[in-house]
C-alpha cells in the first residue's frame, strides 16, 4: 500500500484493535470458550499504544494487533484457537502477518497472563511487593507498554491491579530520581557558558542539547508521568501542565546561536520546573539558579541535595545523591531494552 493510500484509509491502531476485539475476537471466544474470563486491550510495543501513530506507522509492524490476558494456564489454548479459527482478513486487512522481530506469518493477538506480560515487559514482577532495585530498574517506556494503551475489557481484574501498582514510584524513589536529574543539570550547567566564552559555540550547543533532554525527562518526573523513549519524549512533555510554554523555551535553546542567550533560556526553563516542583509540594530552592562564582555563567543551586535530605527510607538514602534509575544512569538503547542489563546498572 502506498503512502497516499495509507493516508486515505487511515484508522489508528487503537481504533483497529477495539473493533477487531468487538467484531471478531470476542465473538470467537464467546462461541468457542464460553465463560472464559479474560482481559483485552492494546498493550506492548508500537506507537499506537501511546496514541502517537500516524499513516507512516503502517509501513511496518502495524495492523490487527491486540492483547489478550488469560489466567490459570489458558494462554496456550487461546493462542491455538486464534491461530486456527481467526478469519484470514478483517475489513480488508490480514489477521496474520510477519513482524520485524518475528518473521513468522501468524496472528498478532498477544496472549499471556497479566503477570507474564508484565514480567516480560518490565523484567520484574509487579503483581507482588516490589524491591528498591525493581523500581530503579524500570524505564518509563517499559511501564508505558503496560499502562498507556487502552484496556477494552477486564474480566479478571489482574491487569487493572498491575496498572494501579505502576501508577508511580514510591515517594522516596521519586525523590531519588528527581535528585538525579537536578544533579546532572547542576554538574554541566556552567559549561554552556564556559565553552561559549572560549569561542566554542558548537560545544556550548552540544552541552545545552544534553540539558534539554534532561529537562524533558525531569518535567515528566515532576508531574508524575512516565517518560517515553526518545522519539516521543518531547511530544509527551508538551502535553504536561505548562508543557507548551516549556516547549517554546527549549526550542529557543536548540535554535540559539549565542551562548549568552542559550544559558539564559536554560535558566528560564529550570525556574519554570522548580516552580512546578514547588507546586507539587516537593523540596526545592527558589530561585533554582544562581551566578557561578565570579564568572559570567549560570549555575544550579543545591536542589538535588534538598531532595536527597527529604528521603526517609534508609535504603534509598544510602544511594549516593545523583545516581538515579537505570534510564538516568545510561541512555544506551541496547542496555535499556534488556531487563537483565538494566538490573545490573542498579544492583
Q: Quote the pLDDT of residue 303.
A: 98
Task: Answer for the pair 117, 67: CB distance below 8 angstroms, yes or no.
Answer: yes
129-181: pLDDT as tens digits: 999 999 999 999 999 999 999 999 999 999 999 999 999 999 999 999 999 99
Enumerate the β-bridge partners of residue 99.
102
Q: Is the per-residue pLDDT at 6 higher than 80?
A: no
In degrees rounded to 5, what are phi and psi of residue 30?
-65, -35
Q: Quote the pLDDT of residue 46.
A: 94
Q: Is the per-residue pLDDT at 333 higher than 80?
A: yes
Give the Cα separation of 192 and 94 in Å (integer).
52
Peptide bond into 208 cis (omega under 30): no
Structural domain boundaries of the chain? 3-165, 171-339
Q: Quote the pLDDT of residue 31.
A: 97
Chain-centroid distance, C-alpha 196: 33
Task: Answer for the pair 316, 176: CB distance below 8 angstroms, yes or no.
Answer: yes
The least confident of 19-28, 58-67, 225-234 is 58-67
**For residues 300-304, average pLDDT:** 98
pTM: 0.94
Enumerate the β-bridge partners of residue 96.
107
Q: Quote the pLDDT of residue 34.
A: 97
In degrees rounded to 5, what are phi and psi of residue 260?
-65, -45
CA distances 327 to 87, 181, 310, 343, Å, are: 42, 11, 22, 11
Q: Quote the pLDDT of residue 174.
A: 98
Residue carrying C-alpha cell 491502531: 13
| Per-residue confidence band for 112, with pLDDT thresholds at 50, 70 and 90 | very high
Q: Which of 277, 285, 282 is nearest to 301 (CA)?
A: 285
Calculate the average pLDDT of the chain.
95
DSSP 58: G
173-215: pLDDT as tens digits: 999 999 999 999 999 999 999 999 999 999 999 999 999 999 9
Enumerate the β-bridge partners of residue 300.
289
- Concatenating the DSSP letter of every residue in 136-185 gives HH--HHHHHHHHTS-EEEESSSHHHHHHHHTTS--HHHHHHHHHHHHHHH
Give the Cα separation of 346 and 63 in Å (integer).
37
Q: Quote the pLDDT of residue 10.
A: 72
End-to-end CA distance of the chain: 47
Per cent of the chain over pLDDT 70 is: 97
Give the Cα separation of 199 and 205 in Å (integer).
12
Enumerate the β-bridge partners of residue 151.
41
**Alpha helix segments (H runs only) across the chain:** 3-8, 13-20, 26-32, 47-50, 75-85, 114-122, 132-137, 140-147, 158-165, 171-197, 201-222, 230-238, 243-255, 259-279, 303-309, 314-317, 326-329, 333-336, 339-346
In degrees rounded to 5, what are phi and psi of residue 239?
-90, 0
Q: Quote the pLDDT of residue 323.
A: 97
Task: Answer for the pair 339, 330: CB distance below 8 angstroms, yes or no.
Answer: no
**For residues 338-342, average pLDDT:** 95
Q: Quote the pLDDT of residue 5.
A: 53
- CB neighbour burial string for 309-318, b if at least 16 within 10 angstroms, e if fewer: eebeeeebbe
Task: Answer for the pair 343, 133: CB distance below 8 angstroms, yes or no.
Answer: yes
Amino acid at each position: 500500500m502506498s503512502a497516499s493510500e495509507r493516508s486515505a484509509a487511515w484508522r489508528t491502531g487503537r481504533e483497529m484493535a477495539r473493533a477487531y476485539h468487538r467484531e471478531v475476537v470476542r465473538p470467537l471466544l464467546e462461541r468457542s470458550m464460553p465463560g472464559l474470563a479474560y482481559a483485552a486491550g492494546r498493550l506492548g510495543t508500537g506507537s499506537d499504544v501511546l496514541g502517537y501513530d500516524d499513516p507512516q506507522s503502517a509501513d511496518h509492524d502495524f495492523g490487527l494487533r491486540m492483547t489478550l490476558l488469560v489466567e490459570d494456564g489458558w494462554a496456550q489454548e487461546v493462542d491455538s484457537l486464534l491461530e486456527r479459527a481467526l478469519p484470514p482478513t478483517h475489513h480488508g486487512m490480514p489477521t496474520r502477518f510477519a513482524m520485524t522481530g518475528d518473521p513468522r506469518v501468524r496472528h498478532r493477538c498477544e496472549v499471556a497472563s497479566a503477570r507474564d506480560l508484565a514480567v516480560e515487559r518490565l523484567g520484574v514482577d509487579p503483581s507482588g511487593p516490589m524491591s528498591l532495585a525493581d523500581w530503579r530498574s524500570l524505564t518509563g517506556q517499559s511501564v508505558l507498554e503496560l499502562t498507556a494503551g487502552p484496556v477494552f475489557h477486564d474480566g479478571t481484574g489482574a491487569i487493572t491491579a498491575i496498572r494501579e501498582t505502576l501508577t508511580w514510584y514510591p515517594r522516596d524513589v521519586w525523590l531519588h530520581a528527581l535528585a538525579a536529574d537536578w544533579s546532572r543539570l547542576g554538574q554541566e550547567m556552567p559549561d554552556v557558558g564556559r565553552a561559549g566564552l572560549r569561542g566554542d559555540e558548537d560545544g556550548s550547543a552540544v552541552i545545552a542539547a544534553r540539558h534539554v533532554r534532561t529537562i524533558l525527562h525531569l518535567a515528566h518526573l515532576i508531574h508524575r508521568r512516565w517518560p517515553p523513549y526518545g522519539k516521543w519524549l518531547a511530544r509527551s512533555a508538551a502535553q504536561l501542565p505548562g508543557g507548551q510554554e516549556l516547549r517554546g523555551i527549549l526550542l529557543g535553546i536548540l535554535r540559539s546561536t549565542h551562548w549568552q542567550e542559550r544559558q539564559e533560556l536554560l535558566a528560564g526553563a529550570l525556574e519554570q520546573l522548580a516552580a512546578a516542583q514547588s507546586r507539587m509540594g516537593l523540596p526545592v530552592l527558589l530561585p533554582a539558579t544562581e551566578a557561578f562564582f565570579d564568572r559570567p555563567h549560570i549555575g544550579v543551586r543545591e536542589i538535588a541535595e534538598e531532595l536527597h535530605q527529604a528521603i526517609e527510607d534508609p535504603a534509598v538514602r544510602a544511594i549516593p545523591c545523583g545516581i538515579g534509575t537505570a534510564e538516568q544512569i545510561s541512555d544506551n538503547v541496547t542496555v535499556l531494552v534488556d531487563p537483565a542489563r538494566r538490573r545490573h546498572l542498579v544492583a
